[in-house]
Amino acid sequence: MLNTIVTTDRKNHKESIELAAYAAEKLGIKNVKRNRAALPEMREEYGVDNILVAKKGSFVLDTLDGELFFHPNMSQLRIKNIRMGDEDHMTAAMDLKEGMGVLDCTLGFGADAIVASFVTGEGGSVTGLEASPLISFVTGEGMKHFLATNYELHSAIKRVNVINADYNEYLKTLPDKSVDVIYFDPMFRHPLKDSHNINPIRAVADHRPLSIEAVNEAKRVARHRVVMKENSRSLEFARLGFDTIVGGKHSKVHYGVIKL
């Protein structure tokens, strides 16, 4: 169903072998001993598009469009800029403060969730929902195993609570006004051509557009704001009722805001 097998890298360390077995059990996918085989050969032999590779205490998902793995690159840079006093457009759109609770409905590789976790701090909370079991697994395990040298980044990563769920279903289970900010960063309707780093994610991500029903649920569940990120020229903001737009004049992405 997931069109994926799991294996280890060629070093076949004991830790990687254990991780591969864990992934196979969690995701219900076939665990294949690596030996010396190259990934394209294994892809052919087992008739799958994706191979999850356990290596060095974490996972890389090899898709037909490239490799996917968790790394807090972008969030690290954004946190550094926030600490230097620069404004982060996403947290400004959220009007995010220490101690707030955030539900990130589209976790992906978690960069936005980590930045939100840094800003909300130890007294806040960030939950990230991800519909794709593979992305949710790679991000969740990556966050669990990643060792950041900087304590604040490290603790921001560890505080993110990762849940493999579809926001369309999950939002319905939450009480009214139970989260401060609800955030959506769906796959763009019209992807930015130079956004190479997001391209491999396309192979395994959920591409459904955000619906008016989900926005209405988010408006019921959120106390403070509902925020959506999209291509700055997107018509999605108007279609879904995000009436305030935040973002740089020349920026390729904007944040639509619904203030509650």
SS3 175: coil
Q: Are strands 125-130 and 160-164 parallel, antiparallel or unpaired?
A: parallel
Q: How far is the CB of 104 from ligand SAM (least distance, A)?
A: 7
Closer CB to ligand SAM, residue 208 or residue 259?
208
SS3 5: strand
Closer CB to ligand SAM, residue 110 or residue 142?
110
Could you tell me if 117 and 160 are in contact, meaning their C-beta atoms sit under 8 angstroms apart? yes
Applying CB under 6 A, which residues contact ligand SAM?
A: 105-106, 108-112, 129-132, 135, 166-168, 185-187, 201, 205-206, 208
* Residues paired with 259 in a beta bridge: 225
Residue 46: HSE in the Cβ half-sphere, 13 Å Cα cutoff: 23
Q: How far is the CB of 1 from ligand SAM (least distance, A)?
A: 16
Q: How far is the CB of 163 from ligand SAM (least distance, A)?
A: 9
Closer CB to ligand SAM, residue 8 or residue 132?
132
Closer CB to ligand SAM, residue 205 or residue 258?
205
Q: How far is the CB of 167 from ligand SAM (least distance, A)?
A: 4
**234-to-111, 201, 210 alpha-carbon distances in Å:** 22, 20, 13
Closer CB to ligand SAM, residue 35 or residue 195?
195
Instruction: Report the C-alpha gap between 131 and 168 in whole angstroms.
Output: 10
Where is 104: in which H helix or E strand? strand 101-104
Q: How far is the CB of 70 from ligand SAM (least distance, A)?
A: 9
